[in-house]
Amino acid sequence: MESTTIPAQLLDGDAVSVVGRLQDAGYIAYLVGGCVRDALLGREPKDYDIATSATPDELRSLFGRRCRLIGRRFKLAHVRAGAKIFEVATFRGRPEDQDVQDDSGFVVRANTFGSPEEDAVSRDFTMNGLFYDPFARRLHDHVGGLDDIRARRIRTIGDAEQRFREDPVRILRAVKFAGRLALDLDPGLAAVSGDLAGLVHDCPVARVTEELFRLLESGYAEATVRVARRLGVLEAALPEVADAVEDDDAFERWCAWLRVMDRLVLAHGTLPRESTFVLVAWPLLRASVHAQAEGDWGLHATERVQDAASRMAIPIRHRQHLRGTANLLRRIVGPPRRRRQPQIGRSPSLPTALTVLRMEFLCGFIDAPPPGYESFAADSRALGITPGPFEPRVEETDAGSAAPTREREDDGGGGGRRRRSRRRSRGRKPAADG
């Protein structure tokens, strides 16, 4: 047990109130995971998870209608506090007590409960295995996570190969944390990541796709894909993308594009998922689509991504958004039409199409916006539609780079949610900073 404390002003009052309610009822309860890690790294936490000795049924009894039990692999509770929802999980048992499938080591059920010490060692990385009691102001470190945070190092709890075989999605999470938090990967972890990354395709498709979207929409996509490519994870997890950027020049062009996208996300928040899909894919499709001349750009673009989109279970509406965006781009960059259909200005794909052109200009793909850009942008403004998902909301620095107003964090809690104002907690208050 460490005397390291977290400033009370960094902690969400409602999350602390949930912990206090559990402790008042006689249960052990702590803040855990990403909120503790981020606070210790000097970053403002976004999502708050809570670990407790209370079972799911006891949580439902204690919180009543505020509590909803979810999950099949491991039951946990969503506890509502006003407009916020906190994930509350019962302490898990040891990893070796979990059921596995055949000889692969992949955990398919994890419904055994245990002690705080057993829960800590069942987690993925040491930096995510820290518990914090906001009332006793004590950090509980059973896995050496504090030392790794101080060393800015990502290390698995236990043998990296075994932990990745238990849950291969942890490889994607390691890459995401390395890129987003600018942390170093433990040599043992890095050595096995590329070899085992192909196992992610044995996991539920929706879960893998969700983690990949979080990786790309975090505001640190460029740094993250550089880590993924260096480790061989990009080739294993997204082979179609890896093939498209196999050449170093193509990869650097894609990274330049992602750098602009990151700047937008950090300044203004997460894009709608369908727009993220289009913006990530467009520079990989651009040359092939433009080669169609007067052909159907939208049909060609969707055909090019069909295999990967089907394998990853990308929603049809995302693919339709790509098709609509590509067809609008053909209209905008093509020769002006005497009679343009008025409904084009109301197309949900227009903001994304205009953003693509702005990004192409910023990346140097085009020397100037095409003549049709201003016309379509004016039409959208007349209809009250933003010319792109983002309008400039930050001041330019002397160096010409934008100073973001805030930085988006995402540790698995509903990407794209806006930060809500904190409500005054009615539970016990943590000790004041001394």
Cα–Cα nearest to 428, from 103, 155, 137: 137
CB 241 within 8 A of CB 281: no
Question: What DSSP line would sit under 246-312, residue for residue?
Answer: -SHHHHHHHHHHHHHHHHHHHHH-PPPHHHHHHHHHHHHHHHHHHTTTTS-HHHHHHHHHHHHHHHT
Give residue for tokens 């981020």.
38
H or E stretch covering 145 = helix 145-150
CA 54-36-264 angle, 5° bins: 125
Whole-number Å distance between alpha carbons of 310 and 293? 27
Residue 194's Cβ-side half-sphere holds a number of Cα atoms within 13 Å equal to 11
Return the structure tokens found at 118.
Answer: 């057993």
Sign of CA dihedral 265, 266, 269, 270: positive
Which residues are tagged catalytic? 47, 49, 124
Strand-pairing partners, residue 120, are none
Q: What distance lies between CA 101 and its chain's CA centroid?
A: 28
**CA 173 to the chain's CA centroid:** 9
User: Which one-letter DSSP state was computed for residue 422?
Assistant: P
Q: Which two tokens stand for residue 359?
A: 């990004």
Gap between the Cα atoms of 318 and 1, Å rounded:
48
> Which candidate, 11, 18, 3, 2, places its Cα nearest to that of 36?
11
Question: Which string of DSSP letters, residue by residue, matches 337-400?
Answer: PSS--GGGGG-TTHHHHHHHHHHHHHHTSSSS--HHHHHHHHHHHHTT--SSS----SPBPTTS
